[in-house]
Amino acid sequence: MTYLLDVNALVALGFAHHEFHERVARWVRDQKAAPLATCSITELGFVRVLAQIPAYGFTIVQATTLLLRMKRANPTRFSFVTDDHDISHLPSWVKTARQTTDGHLMKLASAYDGVLATLDGKIPGAYVIPHG
């Protein structure tokens, strides 16, 4: 099974000082060979979050470099999922603006026989990364 990491899970994995870094890193280690995936939305979100939050102190270049380094460190573990889903693929449970990206990522993950891995327990059908 491939796990498409949502933005929060990807940020927590990549940023060692994130409050949930150890939780996500431990889960990734426990998964051993399970493939992880990113997509345009999650990669752009990773860069946006790290560069937008002043406490993180990243520039766009630094955030991009961090993500690329993380993916290159284990290229057989990370794959990139191309996104060819338009708005017609949103699941019926999407009712609010805040759910649109989650719904899109859920459908994208399932199109690649994967599952969306997240820290958010409110996404129907997503895999919530355990506390440990």
CATH classification of the domain holding 44:
3.40.50.1010
Tell the burial category of 111 from Cβ atoms under 10 Å away from its Cβ (0-12, 13-18, 19+). middle
Q: Which domain holds residue 90?
A: 2-128
Q: How many domains does the chain have?
A: 1
Q: pLDDT tens for residues 23-79? A: 999 999 998 878 999 999 999 999 999 999 998 899 999 999 999 999 998 877 899
Per-residue pLDDT at 114 exceeds 90 = yes
Average pLDDT, the chain: 94
> Which residues are CB-neighbours of 123 under 8 A, at least 6 positions away?
6, 102, 106, 116
Strand 78-81 and strand 2-5: pairing?
unpaired
Q: Hey, what are 110's tokens?
A: 């399932």
65 vs 83: CA distance, rounded Å = 22
Q: Is pTM, for the whole model, over 0.85?
A: yes
